[in-house]
């Protein structure tokens, strides 16, 4: 049912107002949307115990990693004695073995915690983004490319996950590997702190510069991927048009061009990673630190075992150095993805669900009062000063040439779009004063371009009222003259149809849409040229079904079929966005040149 959705009382009870206007919202944890980092942190905050697990694992892992070089140094001194104490060496080896087993357990806990956090955040962010997208107005969805949205909802969300595991997991773990040599080295001699401390300072200075240069490149990588995905989505969605115009080669060339842009962005990122100076700093630190220790050894200040231990501590700097490039790149990519996701969530919508608005039972009266409308971003109005009244239960045919504004007019009734001037009233109340869910749940719109989901026929018919019995579904299908063709399928109502109903004929898709509308029992039924694809053999049956469905409810019909126009209570003629005539068929054929021209053409 295009332009509307059905909500149970239980679901309605969960609707809530939020500060940002939206067509549809559900109660969800409120997150900080003022910036990507704050937003991510607001997702992390409820999982504090996982953060504690990660930090305990990281500190324990680094601390026990530093035990090995210290004990190896002591063992080295023991071996240099004239008569080594073998029992002490055995104890040392056992201690090293036990500490490394414990270290492995702590590292497992750190990795598990980071992975758990990443997976939890991925689920939460997908949920938040999905609800946000459902809450956006049609203006948003008309302007936002589907491919780019899918790239953000899939790849970018995944990058946020990777930012935590392995990204921040490695960053946190490597930080304590940088700290341990600074803590332990001075226990041998105060001056030995100079090298690891100098390395730490220079490392972070180079890292800050690296991340500053990396951020725009990461944004470029994510943006170029979104552009490639947009083109791919459009090409596949319009594959029939592409093949019909024999433009396969041209579309392939465009895709290759976009893929090359993605490749160039990744190469640019790789070039920056290759020029990261951390490896040079590591080599200098080990060389300078070992030379310093040997000088102290020659002067008798250090023994040989302490030199070995200090060298082992300096080697701990290798882990953060070797992991820094890809770990921090992953963090940068995750932040770039977070910025793109948050930008989508924060994108303003021009419709408010008005959860506190009127939500009573609809009678079906409609009034267009001096209505004007222009699509966002355009200056030329589609509708100008449109005024007419539809009484509850009336059937009104809206006719006019292509581009006259007929579809735009009826989409103002259920607030797919909002007027830019004047008012649309339902039961005497401005549609903007209605609770949006209550308004739309009592209006069904069937358009010429029918959308069906890749689900069973039964699920498609019951989309507006999930959970209804099979008998109700079958009754709706019979009313829409769809039951007979459904029975010809091997699995009947359980037959799964393709995306957008491409496995069905145009007439079959439209009859399923009619069945979906009949099942929801709307107070206002809008048919936007919805019988255009029905063959002549079915037309008489479907006309009777529509006539029966129109009884007791207000019906707006956009059509060029004379058979439907004749039995309308009122015919409204639209020309260039204005109402130029109203009346019965016979009256308008005599008095309206615009109306009679439609049938002559």
**Is a pLDDT exceeding 70 seen at residue 359?**
yes
Edge-to-edge strand ranges of the sheet holding 429-430: 383-390, 366-373, 421-426, 429-430
Residue 416 lies in a domain: yes
Q: What pLDDT shows up at residue 223? A: 84
The radius of gyration computed from the CA coordinates of the chain, to the nearest angstrom, equals 35
Q: Measure the CA–CA gap between 6 and 443, rounded to whole angstroms.
A: 10
Map tokens 């609707």 to a residue: 15
**Is a pLDDT exceeding 80 seen at residue 345?**
yes
Assess whether 515 and 377 both reside in one domain: yes
Mean pLDDT of the chain: 83
**Is a pLDDT exceeding 70 seen at residue 279?**
yes
Q: Measure the CA–CA gap between 397 and 76, rounded to whole angstroms.
A: 97
Assess whether 427 and 518 both reside in one domain: yes
Assess whether 225 and 267 both reside in one domain: yes
**Is a pLDDT exceeding 80 seen at residue 169?**
yes
**Is a pLDDT exceeding 70 seen at residue 361?**
yes
State the DSSP H helix or E strand holding residue 59, giving kind and residue range, or none if neither: helix 48-79
Contact 282, 321 (CB under 8 A): yes
Split into its structural domains, the chain has a count of 2
Higher pLDDT, 559 or 420: 420
**Is a pLDDT exceeding 50 seen at residue 468?**
yes
Q: What pLDDT shows up at residue 215? A: 81
- Provide the CATH number for the domain around residue 342: 1.20.1560.10
Residue 14 lies in a domain: no
Q: What pLDDT shows up at residue 383? A: 92
Tokens of 392: 């509850």
Q: What pLDDT shows up at residue 86? A: 83
595 Cβ contact partners less than 8 Å away, ≥ 6 residues apart: 399, 571, 573, 581, 588, 589
Q: What pLDDT shows up at residue 13? A: 38
Assess whether 317 and 371 both reside in one domain: no
Q: Measure the CA–CA gap between 512 and 545, rounded to whole angstroms.
A: 13
Higher pLDDT, 572 or 454: 572
Least confident of 106-115, 196-205, 350-359: 350-359
Q: What pLDDT shows up at residue 222? A: 81
CB 351: neighbour CB atoms within 10 A? 21
Q: What pLDDT shows up at residue 3? A: 37
Give the ranges where 135-168 is alpha helix by DSSP (H): 138-143, 146-151, 157-162
Assess whether 321 and 449 both reside in one domain: no
Which of 346, 378, 393 is where one domain is finished?
A: 346
Q: What pLDDT shows up at residue 541? A: 62
Name 396's bridge partners: 556, 570
Mean pLDDT of 473-496: 85
Assess whether 338 and 417 both reside in one domain: no
Q: What pLDDT shows up at residue 308? A: 93
State the DSSP H helix or E strand holding residue 385, giving kind and residue range, or none if neither: strand 383-390
Residue 3 lies in a domain: no
pTM confidence score: 0.71
Q: Measure the CA–CA gap between 289 and 283, rounded to whole angstroms.
A: 10
**Is a pLDDT exceeding 50 seen at residue 333?**
yes
Contact 163, 250 (CB under 8 A): no
553-591: pLDDT as tens digits = 898 988 777 777 877 889 999 988 898 888 888 888 888
Q: Measure the CA–CA gap between 352 and 199, rounded to whole angstroms.
A: 55
Q: What pLDDT shows up at residue 403? A: 80
Which of 314, 346, 378 is where one domain is finished?
A: 346
Q: Measure the CA–CA gap between 464 and 492, rounded to whole angstroms.
A: 20
With H, G, I as helix, E, B as strand and everything else as coil, classify residue 396. Answer: strand
Give the ranges where 299-398 is alpha helix by DSSP (H): 304-315, 318-346
Q: What pLDDT shows up at residue 92? A: 87
Q: Measure the CA–CA gap between 537 and 386, rounded to whole angstroms.
A: 37
Mean pLDDT of 412-438: 90
Assess whether 173 and 307 both reside in one domain: yes
With H, G, I as helix, E, B as strand and everything else as coil, classify residue 525. Answer: strand
**Is a pLDDT exceeding 90 seen at residue 450?**
no
Give the highest mean pLDDT range of 151-155, 236-240, 291-295, 397-401: 291-295
252-261: pLDDT as tens digits = 888 888 888 8
Residue 360 lies in a domain: no
Q: What pLDDT shows up at residue 9? A: 37
| Band of residue 1 on the pLDDT scale cut at 50, 70, 90 | very low
Q: What pLDDT shows up at residue 5? A: 35
**Is a pLDDT exceeding 60 seen at residue 509?**
yes
| Band of residue 344 on the pLDDT scale cut at 50, 70, 90 | confident
523-562: pLDDT as tens digits = 898 888 755 555 566 566 666 667 766 777 898 988 777 7
19-44: pLDDT as tens digits = 445 666 666 677 888 888 999 999 99
Mean pLDDT of 89-115: 92
Domain limits for position 104: 25-346
Q: What pLDDT shows up at residue 301? A: 93
Q: What pLDDT shows up at residue 417? A: 86
Assess whether 264 and 371 both reside in one domain: no
Residue 5 lies in a domain: no
| Band of residue 51 on the pLDDT scale cut at 50, 70, 90 | very high
- Between helix 169-184 and helix 86-134 the angle, nearest 10°, is 150
Mean pLDDT of 92-119: 92
Q: What pLDDT shows up at residue 18? A: 38
Assess whether 447 and 475 both reside in one domain: yes
Q: What pLDDT shows up at residue 12? A: 37
Residue 211 lies in a domain: yes
Residue 61 lies in a domain: yes
Name 368's bridge partners: 388, 424
Contact 457, 512 (CB under 8 A): yes
Assess whether 128 and 206 both reside in one domain: yes
Mean pLDDT of 322-345: 86
**Is a pLDDT exceeding 70 seen at residue 281?**
yes
Q: Measure the CA–CA gap between 126 and 116, rounded to whole angstroms.
A: 16
Least confident of 202-206, 321-325, 351-355, 438-442: 351-355
Contact 87, 93 (CB under 8 A): no
- Provide the CATH number for the domain around residue 413: 3.40.50.300
Assess whether 370 and 431 both reside in one domain: yes
| Band of residue 501 on the pLDDT scale cut at 50, 70, 90 | low
**Is a pLDDT exceeding 60 seen at residue 597?**
yes
Q: What pLDDT shows up at residue 530? A: 59
Q: Measure the CA–CA gap between 40 and 160, rounded to whole angstroms.
A: 9
CB 48: neighbour CB atoms within 10 A? 9
Assess whether 396 and 538 both reside in one domain: yes
């Amino acid at each position: 049912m295009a332009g509307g959705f059905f909500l149970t009382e239980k679901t309605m009870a969960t609707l809530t107002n939020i500060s940002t206007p939206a067509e549809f919202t559900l109660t969800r944890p409120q997150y900080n949307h003022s910036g990507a980092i704050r937003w991510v942190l607001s997702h992390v905050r409820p999982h504090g115990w996982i953060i504690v697990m990660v930090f305990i694992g990281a500190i324990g892992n680094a601390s026990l990693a530093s035990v090995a070089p210290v004990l190896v140094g002591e063992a080295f001194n023991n071996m240099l004695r004239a008569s080594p104490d073998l029992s002490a060496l055995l104890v040392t080896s056992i201690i090293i073995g036990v500490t490394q087993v414990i270290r492995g357990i702590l590292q497992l806990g750190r990795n598990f915690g980071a992975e758990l956090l990443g997976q939890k955040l991925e689920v939460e962010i997908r949920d938040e983004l999905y609800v946000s997208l459902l809450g956006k107005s049609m203006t948003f969805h008309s302007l936002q490319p589907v491919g780019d949205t899918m790239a953000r909802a899939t790849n970018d969300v995944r990058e946020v996950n990777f930012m935590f595991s392995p990204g921040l997991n490695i960053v946190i773990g490597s930080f304590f590997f940088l700290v341990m040599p600074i803590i332990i080295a001075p226990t041998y001699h105060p001056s030995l702190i100079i090298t690891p401390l100098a390395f730490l300072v220079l490392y972070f200075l180079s890292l800050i510069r690296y991340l500053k240069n990396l951020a725009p490149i990461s944004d470029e990588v994510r943006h170029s991927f979104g552009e490639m995905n947009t083109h791919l989505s459009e090409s596949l969605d319009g594959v029939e048009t592409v093949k019909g115009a024999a433009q396969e080669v041209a579309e392939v060339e465009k895709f290759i061009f976009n893929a090359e842009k993605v490749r160039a962005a990744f190469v640019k990122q790789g070039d920056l990673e290759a020029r990261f100076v951390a490896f040079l700093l590591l080599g200098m630190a080990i060389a300078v630190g070992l030379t310093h220790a040997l000088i102290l050894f020659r002067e008798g200040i250090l023994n040989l075992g302490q030199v070995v231990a200090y060298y082992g501590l300096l080697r701990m700097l290798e882990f953060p150095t070797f992991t820094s490039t890809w770990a921090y790149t992953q963090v940068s990519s995750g932040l770039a993805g977070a910025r793109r996701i948050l930008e989508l969530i924060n994108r303003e919508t021009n419709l408010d669900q008005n959860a506190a608005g009127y939500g009573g039972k609809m009678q079906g009266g409609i009034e267009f009062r001096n209505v004007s409308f222009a699509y966002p971003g355009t200056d030329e109005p589609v509708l100008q000063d449109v005024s007419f009244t539809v009484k509850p239960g009336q059937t009104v045919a809206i006719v006019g040439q292509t581009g006259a504004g007929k579809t735009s007019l009826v989409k103002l009734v259920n607030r797919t779009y909002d007027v830019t001037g004047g008012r649309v009233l339902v039961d005497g109340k401005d549609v903007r004063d209605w609770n949006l869910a209550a308004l739309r749940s009592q209006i069904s719109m069937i358009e010429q371009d029918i959308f069906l989901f890749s689900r069973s026929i039964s699920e498609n018919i019951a989309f507006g009222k999930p959970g209804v019995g099979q008998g109700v579904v079958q009754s709706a299908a019979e009313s829409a003259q769809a039951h007979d063709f459904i029975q010809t399928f091997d699995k009947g109502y359980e037959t799964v149809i393709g995306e957008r109903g491409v496995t069905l004929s145009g007439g079959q898709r439209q009859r399923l849409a009619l069945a979906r509308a009949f099942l929801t029992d709307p107070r206002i039924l809008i048919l936007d040229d919805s019988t255009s694809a029905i063959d002549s053999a079915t037309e008489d049956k479907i006309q009777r079904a529509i006539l029966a469905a129109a009884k007791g409810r207000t019906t707006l019909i956009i059509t060029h079929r004379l058979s439907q126009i004749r039995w309308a209570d009122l015919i409204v003629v639209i020309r260039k966005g204005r109402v130029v005539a109203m009346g019965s068929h016979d009256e308008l054929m005599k008095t309206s040149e615009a109306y009679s021209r439609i049938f002559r053409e």
